[in-house]
Structure formats: structure tokens, C-alpha cells
């Protein structure tokens, strides 16, 4: 009997007609029966010893020079999403995958992106002099292909007004100005990027306080004070014209003037400013003195916050237009469970050259593809399907990844094992990892197998432990990279990782190959380490007979979150529903861990054992979906995950239970009883989500 298996290309094809749909469903049911009941010959990668050999081969075939050559090729030209050079990088990645003989796919979407047309900024001083401030890095212009300094989705506008410095532009900062008697109404606000406040929120808060426009600057390191941090100032993820569905050819699209679209964009214009230009303005401000709590992070000569006497003349004109963006994929089809997907993703588009952000990650992804091809030539076939994903337009709000997730939500919801994201693979020294908690143990084990790039004779794990005194894995609540649609919308277990916490050339034209060679990773050893960890994680997830998930870590996290909530709330709200749900989840996690260990110890490959492993893996894979709520967060329905998603109160210290965090923020403006009821309702919603996850782990409905 031939081996009939479902094809992973269903993720990349259009919807069939209704008649074909019925026939397709009938065929899928028949094929599914044979898939589950036919005992397939186990390929060599399913044997633990052989799998270990393949992993060693994978690690041993890394070459620093190869990764460096990929990065060099990717960063020859700036490649802003939606432009011809960006399409060239898509062709480069596609050609690389095809050259390795991998099953290569491309998917395009039509999305609303934003570009500058013209802008100008001049400063006028009290002595009658003025200076025109350049709006791109020195020596660069449109002829170089470098886009001028701008904020994507900023409205066009102009202002001729006094400057006020508002520190980071938080509510607390505006309160500090008010205490000094400083009113920013009718002024241009100068804000220093910092903390966790996104650009769009900084602009929105300035707007709420009456400002006419906003200038945002980032402190550049020595030698990089002339850099401009480009970025977006909109809210949400994905194409603004297709919220919740994919922007494919012929799709429904909202009107650009639709209120649902407009609410995603700020109402006052903004632009980035270099640290050098910001210091020039700061040095000329007078009036009210700088608050003491701001002084430590400012140059010594800064005396006042304004308003004025310096006046700026600000003009920005931009355009929003629908353009084609392109995702590129390589599919390595699994032999035993081809309908289970392990996804590795990185975005490809950049504000300028993008040596760090994102092409250090793209170079690592290309090297993983090369090494996987070597494994296949050595006889390796993964148990489950691996998909390498190269996303477009992440810088405009995770557009490429979000559109694809929205298009394939049903398939991903039932078949995606995990998503492994790398954005800026290398920013500097030190490993940083974020993940959903059931993947913590796997991350620890994999880092024990990879050589540390900065410590001779040590593993990544050993250096990580020495630096943090523990394994410090953060969570995935932020809306800042392509893991967001997978976790926060689709409930897929995910990991995000990178070397170096930040870097001084972020989103500037200095983020080029030369910076990486001179500062970020001169020998490309960190690139090799990231590729090793990333590829090895995927090999475990694709080949282990029992998925390497451990939900006891999740239990510990949920208990900690409940304790933090308990310390924040005054006892007027009951946490009993949460306590009960977490206990139920803990019982399920312990039971499933014991079951997994028993099945790992079973040597038999009988049909019954294979079916038991398949059923257990499904429960492990689908438990994360239990944390989703179909209604989503109040006022932000796209966010479905009730444990990990951003809070609408972006100054909140809670990075978990976003609905509860929202309710606590909203309750401040309500009567006591009404506010308590709102918080209590959100606690019940989280409790029900945890119970759903527990039920999914148990795999029972009674």
C-alpha cells in the first residue's frame, strides 16, 4: 500500500469552490483515517541515537564566513518594505532556498504602508539666528536609497511653535511639567525615547496634552549621535485596511478614512530627531528648570524645559498607499506527521541597510536552511514538517506575518506545534530569550549543547547562568516582533531570542554591515551561536517522538502572577476563581508530565503506542490555545490571549493577564463598586481560560 499523507501546501493555496470543498473534505477524512491507522516505517531520525547524530552534524557544520557572506549580500542596499530593493531581497532568499533544492513558496499581500514625500525642520533662537536641521545621516540621501528620517503613518502637518522638553513623554512626565506650571498646549514637544513607551503612545500623549507636533530622539552612543531612529507610530498589528483578515488579491478592504482605520493613527505629526540636534535644542531652552528626577540622563548644560525661547518650524508631508509585500517560505515535509508544523521565522525588511535589524536574523535563517539541506543529504527526514518563514513589512506593524496567520488561522490553530522567532539575532553580547513557559526546559537543554561565542570552553548555558545567576526567560506580552500574531492571536507556543539587549544604531542608516563587523559581532561567532540554538530547538520540536513541552513551568508562572495580583489588589476583589483554576491546571500538568515520561520510556513502535503518542502530542500542542478567548480583549478584539498580550495601559507594570491590567487601569475612573466588578469579571475570564487549557491537557470533556 502506498503512503498517502496530507500536504502542508494547504497553508499556501487559495480556498476551493464549494463543490470542491465537499470532495476535498471527504478525501481528507479518508486520508486521515489511513494516516492514523497505517503504521509507517520509522525513518532514521526517529531513533534517539540517530537523531543525536544528526544534531551533532548540524552543530558541526556551522561556518562564520558563510553567515557573514549572507549578511553582506543582504545589506548591500537599503530595503524598505514595498520598494524594489526590498523585492530584490525576497528574490535573494527565494533563490537561496531553491538553490538548496527546498520546496520554496512565496505569498504576497496588498497592504497599506506609509512613506515620506518631503519634510523640513529649522530652529530659530532668541538671538535672531536660525539653523536648518538635516533630516538624514551625513553623506546619505535619496540617491543612496536611504529613506529620510520619518515616522510611518504620521499624518502630514506643520507647526511653527516654541519647544518644550517632556522627558520620555509619559503621563508622569506631563504631571511633572504641570507641577512646574508648564503647559505644552500649542507647542512642539521634544521627547527622549526610553522606557517601554512606544512611539505612537508618546505621540498620542503629547496630542492629549495639546501639543501641535512631536520630535522624538534617541541617545546615540559615541560616534552615532547623528543617527535618526525611524519607526512607526500606529497601533495594532497587520494591514490597517484588513483588520482580522488577510489582504489577499480581491479581499475586502476598509476605506482609508474609515473610523476603524483612522483610530490606529495619531492625529498630530511627528518625526525622529538625531541626538546631536536634540542636544542643540535642549541647550537653548529656558523658562522652567529641569525637574531633578530628569537631570541624571541629560547633558550637563541643559538648564530648562521651556516653553522656548527656541522656536522650531516643522513640516512633514507623507503618503499612505497600498503596495504588495512578499513572504517567502521553505517547506521541509515531515515523514511521519507531515500535518504538524514547526515554524522558524524572521522578517527581512529594514528601515535602511538592516545589518542588525533584521538581517542578522535572516543570515542565521539562511544558514539553518543550508545546514538542514546537509542533514537531508545525510539521510535525515524530520518527523514533523519544518517551515522556514521570511516575513515582509514587519517594521510597519508585523504586517507580513500577521496577514499570513490571519489567512491560515484554522490550519495553524489545529496543526502548528511551535513558532520560533529571531528578529535582531545579534545586537551585542549576552543571550536574551522570551518564550511561552512550556518551552523553558527545552531552551535550557539546548543552550547546554551550544558553544558560547564569547567564553572559551563554556556553553551558552554556563555563561547565561553566570551572568544572571539563574536562567532568565522573559515572556511574550509585547507587540514588537513577528511572534505576536502567533501567540497573541493564534495561541501558538513560541520563542523569541537574540544576542545583546540593545544597540546604538537602531533603525538608523548606521545599522550597516560595517557596524556589525566593527562592533556587533566582528568574528560572527554570536551569529553562529544563535543559528545553533535556533536550529537545534527546531530539530527537537520536529523529531522528538513526544513534544518537549513541560507545563510545570507554566504552573509556576501562573502562581507567581496570582501572587503579584494579590499584592496589588486590596482584598475587595476575590482571587479564589484564579486560585482554583491554577490548581486544576497544576494537576493536569503533573499528570501529563508523568504520562509523557512513561511513553518516552516505551520502546515499542506498535500502532497502539504510536496512536497514544500522537494523542498526547496533540494535547501538549493545543493546550496553549486554551488561553485564547474568542471575544478577545475589551476594545481590542484581535488580542485573544488572556495571559500574554500588551495591556492598553502601556505604563502598567503588569506584563501578564492583560484584561485584568486593563480593568485595573479603567477602574481608576469608575466608582468603587463598578471598578471592582470590572476587575472581578476579568479575573473570572482568566480563570476560565486556565481551566480550558487544563481541560485541553487532560484531553477529556467529562
Task: Indicate which residues carry an active-site annotation.
Answer: 394
State the Cα–Cα distance between residues 397 and 231, nearest whole angstrom. 10
Which cell numbers in the block locate residue 33? 483515517
User: Using CB atoms within 10 A of its CB, is residue 61 exposed (0-12), middle (13-18) or buried (19+)?
Assistant: middle
Helix/strand number for the chain, H first, E second? 22, 17
Which cell numbers in the block locate residue 273? 530627531
For residue 192, the cross-strand partners are 217
Which cell numbers in the block locate residue 434? 522570551
Total count of residues recorded for the chain: 702
203 touches 266 (CB < 8 A): yes
438 touches 551 (CB < 8 A): yes
For residue 434, the cross-strand partners are 474, 496
Residue where the block lists cell 560616534: 223
311 touches 124 (CB < 8 A): yes
For residue 323, the cross-strand partners are 111
DSSP string computed for 193-257: --TT--HHHHHHHHHHTT-SEEEEE----TT-TT----EE---SSS-TTSTTS---TT-----TT
Q: Around Cβ 257, how many Cβ atoms within 10 Å?
A: 7
Cα 277-193-478 angle, rounded to 5 deg: 155
Beta strand 337-347 with 384-391: parallel, antiparallel or unpaired? Answer: parallel
Cα 508-76-83 angle, rounded to 5 deg: 75
Q: Which residues contact 522 (CB under 8 A, 6 or more apart)?
A: none
State the Cα–Cα distance between residues 521 and 68, nearest whole angstrom. 10
Which cell numbers in the block locate residue 599? 511513553
Smallest Cα–Cα separation from 490: which of 438, 416, 433?
Answer: 416
Cα 45-461-459 angle, rounded to 5 deg: 80
3-state SS, residue 68: helix
State the Cα–Cα distance between residues 76 and 89, nearest whole angstrom. 10
Distances (CA, A) of 24 to 15, 17, 302, 475, 550: 11, 10, 70, 39, 36
Q: Around Cβ 437, how many Cβ atoms within 10 Å?
A: 23
CA 336 to chain centre: 30
Distances (CA, A) of 450 to 56, 364, 453, 556: 10, 15, 9, 27
State the Cα–Cα distance between residues 99 and 537, nearest whole angstrom. 24
3-state SS, residue 422: strand
Which cell numbers in the block locate residue 433? 530569550
User: Using CB atoms within 10 A of its CB, is residue 73 exposed (0-12), middle (13-18) or buried (19+)?
Assistant: middle
Amino acid at each position: 500500500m502506498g503512503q498517502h499523507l496530507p500536504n502542508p501546501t494547504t497553508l499556501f493555496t487559495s480556498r476551493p469552490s464549494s463543490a470542491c470543498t465537499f470532495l476535498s473534505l471527504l478525501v481528507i477524512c479518508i486520508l486521515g483515517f489511513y494516516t492514523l491507522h497505517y503504521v509507517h516505517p520509522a525513518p532514521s531520525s526517529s531513533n534517539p541515537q540517530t537523531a543525536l547524530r544528526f544534531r551533532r552534524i548540524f552543530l558541526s557544520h556551522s561556518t562564520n564566513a558563510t553567515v557573514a557572506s549572507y549578511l553582506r549580500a543582504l545589506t548591500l542596499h537599503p530595503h524598505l518594505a514595498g520598494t524594489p530593493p526590498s523585492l530584490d531581497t525576497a528574490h535573494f532568499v527565494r533563490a537561496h532556498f531553491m538553490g538548496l533544492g527546498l520546496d520554496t513558496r512565496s505569498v504576497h499581500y496588498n497592504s497599506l504602508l506609509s512613506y515620506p514625500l518631503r519634510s523640513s525642520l529649522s530652529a530659530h533662537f532668541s538671538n535672531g539666528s536660525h539653523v536648518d536641521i538635516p533630516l538624514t545621516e551625513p553623506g546619505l540621501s535619496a540617491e543612496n536609497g536611504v529613506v529620510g528620517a520619518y515616522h510611518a503613518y504620521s499624518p502630514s502637518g506643520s507647526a511653527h511653535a516654541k519647544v518644550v522638553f517632556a522627558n520620555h513623554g509619559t503621563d508622569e512626565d506631563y504631571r511633572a511639567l504641570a507641577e512646574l506650571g508648564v503647559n505644552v498646549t500649542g507647542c512642539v514637544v521634544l521627547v527622549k525615547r526610553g522606557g517601554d513607551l512606544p512611539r505612537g503612545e508618546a505621540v498620542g500623549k503629547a496630542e492629549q496634552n495639546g501639543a501641535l507636533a512631536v520630535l522624538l530622539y534617541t541617545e546615540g552612543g559615541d560616534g552615532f549621535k547623528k543617527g535618526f531612529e525611524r519607526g512607526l507610530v500606529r497601533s495594532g498589528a497587520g494591514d490597517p485596511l484588513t483588520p482580522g483578515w488577510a489582504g489577499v488579491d480581491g479581499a475586502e478592504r476598509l476605506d482609508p478614512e474609515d473610523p476603524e482605520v483612522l483610530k490606529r493613527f495619531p492625529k498630530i505629526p511627528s518625526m525622529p530627531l538625531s541626538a546631536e540636534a536634540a542636544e542643540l535644542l535642549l541647550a537653548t531652552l529656558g523658562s522652567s528648570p529641569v525637574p531633578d528626577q530628569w537631570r541624571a540622563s541629560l547633558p550637563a548644560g541643559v538648564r530648562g524645559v521651556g516653553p522656548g525661547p527656541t522656536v522650531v518650524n516643522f513640516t512633514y508631508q507623507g503618503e499612505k498607499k497600498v503596495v504588495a509585500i512578499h513572504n517567502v517560505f521553505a517547506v521541509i515535509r515531515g515523514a511521519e506527521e507531515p500535518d504538524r508544523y514547526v515554524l522558524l521565522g524572521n522578517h527581512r525588511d529594514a528601515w535602511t541597510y538592516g545589518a542588525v535589524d533584521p538581517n542578522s536574523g535572516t543570515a542565521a535563517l539562511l544558514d539553518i536552511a543550508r545546514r538542514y539541506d546537509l542533514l537531508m543529504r545525510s539521510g535525515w527526514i524530520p518527523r514533523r514538517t519544518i517551515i522556514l518563514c521570511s516575513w515582509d513589512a514587519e517594521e510597519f506593524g508585523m504586517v507580513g506575518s500577521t496577514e499570513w496567520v490571519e489567512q491560515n488561522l484554522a490550519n495553524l490553530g489545529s496543526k502548528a506545534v511551535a513558532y520560533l522567532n529571531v528578529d535582531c539575532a545579534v545586537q551585542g553580547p549576552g543571550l536574551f530569550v522570551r518564550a511561552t513557559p512550556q518551552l523553558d526546559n527545552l531552551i535550557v537543554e539546548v543552550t547546554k549543547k551550544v558553544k558560547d561565542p564569547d567564553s572559551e570552553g563554556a556553553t551558552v548555558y554556563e555563561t547565561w547562568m553566570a551572568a544572571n545567576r539563574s536562567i532568565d526567560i522573559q515572556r511574550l506580552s509585547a507587540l514588537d516582533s513577528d511572534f505576536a500574531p502567533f501567540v497573541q492571536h493564534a495561541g501558538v507556543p513560541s520563542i523569541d531570542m537574540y544576542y545583546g539587549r540593545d544597540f546604538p544604531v537602531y533603525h538608523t542608516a548606521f545599522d550597516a554591515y560595517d557596524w556589525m563587523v566593527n562592533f556587533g559581532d566582528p568574528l560572527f561567532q554570536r551569529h553562529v551561536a544563535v543559528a545553533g540554538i535556533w536550529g537545534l530547538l527546531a530539530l527537537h520540536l520536529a523529531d522528538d517522538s513526544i513534544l518537549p513541552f513541560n507545563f510545570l513551568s507554566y504552573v509556576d508562572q501562573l502562581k507567581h502572577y496570582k501572587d503579584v495580583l494579590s499584592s496589588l489588589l486590596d482584598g475587595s476583589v476575590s482571587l479564589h476563581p484564579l486560585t482554583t483554576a491554577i490548581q486544576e491546571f497544576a494537576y493536569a500538568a503533573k499528570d501529563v508530565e508523568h504520562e509523557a515520561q512513561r511513553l518516552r520510556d516505551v520502546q515499542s513502535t506498535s500502532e497502539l503506542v504510536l496512536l497514544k503518542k500522537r494523542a498526547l502530542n496533540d494535547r501538549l500542542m493545543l493546550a496553549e490555545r486554551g488561553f485564547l478567548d474568542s471575544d478577545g480583549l475589551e476594545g481590542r478584539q484581535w488580542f485573544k490571549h488572556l495571559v500574554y498580550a500588551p495591556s492598553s495601559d502601556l505604563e502598567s507594570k503588569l506584563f501578564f493577564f492583560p484584561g485584568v491590567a486593563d480593568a485595573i487601569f479603567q477602574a481608576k475612573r469608575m466608582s468603587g463598586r463598578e471598578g471592582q466588578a470590572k476587575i472581578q469579571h476579568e479575573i473570572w475570564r482568566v480563570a476560565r481560560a486556565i481551566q480550558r487549557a487544563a481541560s485541553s491537557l487532560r484531553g477529556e470533556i467529562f
